[in-house]
A and B are shown apart, each in its own frame.
Chain A
Amino acid sequence: MKMVSIFVLISILILFPAICFSQEKSKNEILIGLIPEENIFRQMDRYRPLGDYLSNKLNIKTRFTILSRYGDIIDRFLIRNLDGAFFGAFTSVLAIEKLKVEPVVRLQNIDGTTTAEGYIIVRKDSGIKDIKDMKGKTIAFVDRATATGFLFAIAYFKEHGIANPFSYFKEYYFTGSHDSALLSVLDGRADIGVVKSTIVRERIRREPLIENEISIIARSMPLPDVTLCLSKKLDSALRDKIKRILITMDRDPEGIKVLERLGASRFINASKEDFIPVYNLLKKADINLKTYRYKQ
């Protein structure tokens, strides 16, 4: 009996620092996921200063991880035990429904907009003028779990009487990111592309000639753009602190530099109501979230 007590005591003594250390470690790092809405390397370059800024302000190391495919993000969020992620409109809805996360802040673009539209684009020299011309062509979507890169186009096609859009085209594929979808059209790998307006505008800003190469066949209603959703498992005080830092960083000279690098003017409050247009699109696209297979 005595031996058993000593064994238990020694075990507690050995395990106690390990337990403490592990708890401390979870508190000492915040891991936030990024959906690959553009070239993932460029995107990581944009977000890395924000990670440093938050680390400095929170005194907790904050880093980002690329979620390689839109559809994977729900699974990867769980597997990697993420504390939050910058989601697109559709993925935000998916996360709210499946991961019990809470929308915290949204990005306000440089031009003051806080929303993005979905574009159906073609090359000007493709000869495609409307939906009828698209039949039998190759279309590049971004991902099944993106509103501006997929959902709005499905709703659009259904509104225009195409019951099964996938059989309407010769080939369809998912580029995984908006700029890849744009590049697919520009490179001729796809005839039609479904992309987010902000990505197109950003690309045109960097390469103005592109504007003459593409034409927009259709565009969606404004949809909420990149939104930071934080896990409800995260300490509410820490959640509030992160939100406060992000909301006020446009008043901090250092924060302004980070925002410029991010390609945004500031962060604004986000709420579940912001995503009502997405729910409407889901209805139009005849997609039931509970049964929807967002994975490829």
Chain B
Amino acid sequence: MKKRLIIALSILFLLFTTGVGITIFYIYKTTKDLETVINLHRVEIIRQNLVINTQTVQTHLYTIGTAFGSEVDVIVEHVSDLDKSVQSCRGCHHNKELTERLDRLSDMVEQYKDALSALITTTANQERIERLRLVAITLGNTLLSMVQEMAFTADQRLYIKTINALRDINNSKIILFITLSIAFLIALLVAVVFTRQITKSISMLINATKELKSGKLGVTANYPYKDEFRDLSEAFNDMSLTLKKNHDELLGFARRLSHLYRVTIPLYYLSEEGMPYKDLTEIVKELFDAKDSKILLKDNGRFIDIMDREISIPQKEMEALYLYYKKEPAIFRKESPPPIGDEYIQTISGSALFIWIKEQEKLSGLLMVYNKISGDFDDTDLNIAAILSNIISVSFINLKLMENLKAQMKELKETQEQLIQAAKLAALGEMASNIAHELNNPLTSIIGFSELSQEETDIETIKKDLKIIEQESIRAKEIVNQLLEFARKRSINIGNVNLNILLKEVLQLASLQLKHGNIDVREEFGDIPIIKADHNQLKQVFLNMINNAIFAMPEGGILTLRTGMIEDKVFVDVEDTGHGIPPDILPRIFEPFFTTKKEKGTGLGLSISYRIIESHGGKIEVKSEINRGTRFTVILPVNLSS
């Protein structure tokens, strides 16, 4: 194709060059002819000037010396022009004949000038003057004749030259037109032939490319001609076959990766049942396209087949084989067996792939894959075997670690249960101690006053003592009641509760104490929804909190009740400006019987409140600063969950 293109273009170039050469030749020739014509026209102008000047001077000749005669300067000027005309003619290159004629003309002009000068300057009798005038006129006429004769010749030459020049111009136009037409036709023919050939070739390649694109890898294009397109089609065929080969290889890799992945799945989901050996051997068979596979694990000095415990290899021989293969996966072939190995190994027929299961470089098992169905094991199999060896080894380690973890977890759970039991006993002891302490005070009073009453005779005093005994008994009973209340699992009476209204009711209940305590109440109620809750229990909670706040502000202060929403929950702040709770006490305030009010409290209020809010699915948060105040935040869900 390239050669044909070069040849075609060379022919075109030659044709164009020839055409251009011919055209240039004709243009050059025509230009020369035109130059000659122009020069001849110039000569014609010179000749006309010569004639005009000569005729003018001749005219002056008749008036020289008369009153009508021109100034000598005018005559001199005309003669000068005449002389210039002749000299300009002589300046050009002419043929010998013309040069001689021009020389004669020049001589004639010189003679004419002499005659004129003589006529102009001579002072003589009339006869002599007339004679001089006649001489000058005769010379002038001769000069005119010569000029006109030359002009006639020049005119003829001018005519011939002009005709020739026009003919050459016409010829060059025709030749140029023919040359360009032929060149155009040949160019058109070459373009059509080459375009068809190129289009056909490209079309064939495009079709092959489309087939390739549609997934038909390995498709080939058969280009019949021997040119660059043949090379291109061969390169395309190579590309297509290479693509197919690479594609097949990629598919093989993908398949193996898929099997490898499948191998890893059972290994990742190790259960208490241990290693899924059966699944593993089956998948490994598929992975390597092998006929069979076995797993041998170390057990009491031998490597035993997991599936068929009758098959085993002594540990010593197995480790020797492991070292022989340099701890790397290896291909066993019957025709070239290793120099060491158990009888069983030596009896393997065909080929086998040895995949070592290691535990920190120590051999713990062997995965054997027998006899590849599609050919023989190769390096790719070895690479996959290396990956598989690592995965299985790690899985075995993981299995062992998991078993260890299970044992440790069990031990930990037992220890934890023991600790919980001990803590429960300690808490119960402390609570019992607190109950005993709480009950001890009224009981001590009762015993004391009972003893006093027995010794007292005055009935009034006895009455007073009995009154005290009664009061202390009631107090003891209240303690017991509250304890029962604390211990009792009360059922919750759920209903719609508007917390803002509920808080107003609680404030009403505490209004007298608030007033006496010189406490300013601020209600900052937000727009909150009605919640599902036990109205009375919540009332008890907030009354307890308000009482605690009043107690915390013996000198008076500000009590702020604030409601609002936190995300989808409702909150209630009960905030005082009292003395605050010391940080070391704060974690204990919800413990039963823990109180800072000494005899004025039982230490059960906040414990009960905490339990009530917890039973509503809510929580209580406390924030306190010494001498700044305390804020209890009760957070409750809008809808009580079951």
Which chain A residues have a beta carbon within 8 Å of chain B's beta carbons? 36, 38-42, 44-45, 65-69, 71, 143, 171, 173-177, 179-180, 183, 296
Contact = CB atoms under 8 A, between A and B. Distances in A.
A39 B114 contact: yes
A173 B121 contact: no
Contact of A177 (B76, B79, B121, B124): B121
Nearest to B128: A173
A162 B123 CA distance: 23
A174 B124 contact: yes
B508 interface: no
Nearest to B83: A41
Given A38-B117, A177-B117, 12 more contacts: A36-B121, A65-B73, A68-B121, A171-B125, A173-B122, A174-B124, A175-B118, A175-B123, A176-B118, A180-B118, A180-B122, A296-B123
A128 B123 CA distance: 24
A68 B72 contact: yes
Contacts of B124: 173-175
Interface string B110-149: 0001101110111111001000000000000000000000
B120 A68 contact: yes
A69 B122 CA distance: 8
Contacts of A65: 72-73
A41 B79 contact: yes
Given A68-B72, A69-B123, A174-B122, A40 B117 contact: yes
Contacts of A45: 80
A176 B123 contact: yes
Contacts of B123: 69, 71, 143, 173-176, 296
Nearest to A69: B123
Contact of A41 (B76, B125, B128): B76
Interface string B608-638: 0000000000000000000000000000000
A63 to B, nearest CB: 9
B118 A66 contact: no
B595 to A, nearest CB: 135
A31 B128 CA distance: 32
Nearest to A40: B117
Contacts of A173: 122-125, 128
Sorted nearest first, the 6 A-B pairs with minimum C-beta distance are: A176-B121, A173-B124, A174-B123, A39-B117, A296-B123, A177-B121
A177 B424 CA distance: 168
Contact of A175 (B73, B116, B122, B125): B122
Contact of B72 (A40, A71, A143, A179): A40
Nearest to B123: A174
A176 B122 contact: yes
Interface in B50-88: 72-73, 76, 79-80, 83
11 contacts: A36-B120, A41-B79, A42-B113, A44-B80, A65-B72, A173-B128, A175-B123, A176-B123, A180-B117, A180-B122, A183-B118
Given A66-B76, A143-B123, A41 B116 contact: yes
Provide the main secondary structure of the chain A interface. Answer: mixed
A294 to B, nearest CB: 11
A128 to B, nearest CB: 20
Contacts of A66: 72-73, 76, 120
Contact of B120 (A38, A40, A171, A183): A40
Contacts of A39: 113-114, 117
A65 B74 CA distance: 10
Contact of B121 (A42, A44, A69, A171): A69
Greatest chain A CB density within 10 A among B83, B121, B123 is at: B121
Contacts of B80: 41, 44-45
A38 B113 CA distance: 11
Contacts of A71: 123
Contacts of A177: 117-118, 121
Given A143-B123, A173-B122, A173-B125, A41 B73 contact: no
A69 B116 CA distance: 14
A62 to B, nearest CB: 14
B357 to A, nearest CB: 118
A155 to B, nearest CB: 20
Interface string B87-127: 00000000000000000000000000110111011111100
A174 B125 CA distance: 9
A296 B129 CA distance: 14
B76 A40 contact: yes
B529 to A, nearest CB: 114
Contacts of A174: 122-124
B121 A180 contact: yes
Contacts of B72: 40, 65-68
A176 B119 CA distance: 9
A80 to B, nearest CB: 9
Contacts of A67: 72
A36 B79 CA distance: 16
A40 B76 CA distance: 8
A178 to B, nearest CB: 10
A200 B125 CA distance: 25
Nearest to B65: A68
Nearest to A44: B76
Greatest chain A CB density within 10 A among B73, B76, B79 is at: B76
Nearest to B120: A68
Nearest to A66: B72
Greatest chain A CB density within 10 A among B80, B113, B120, B122 is at: B122
Contacts of A183: 114, 118
A187 to B, nearest CB: 10
B111 to A, nearest CB: 11
Contacts of B76: 40-41, 44, 66
Contacts of B117: 36, 38-42, 177, 179-180
Contacts of A40: 72, 76, 117, 120-121
Contacts of B79: 41
A38 B122 CA distance: 11
A175 B123 CA distance: 6
A36 B72 CA distance: 11
Contacts of A44: 76, 80
B219 to A, nearest CB: 93
A41 B83 CA distance: 10
A39 B113 CA distance: 8
A61 to B, nearest CB: 14
A57 B79 CA distance: 28
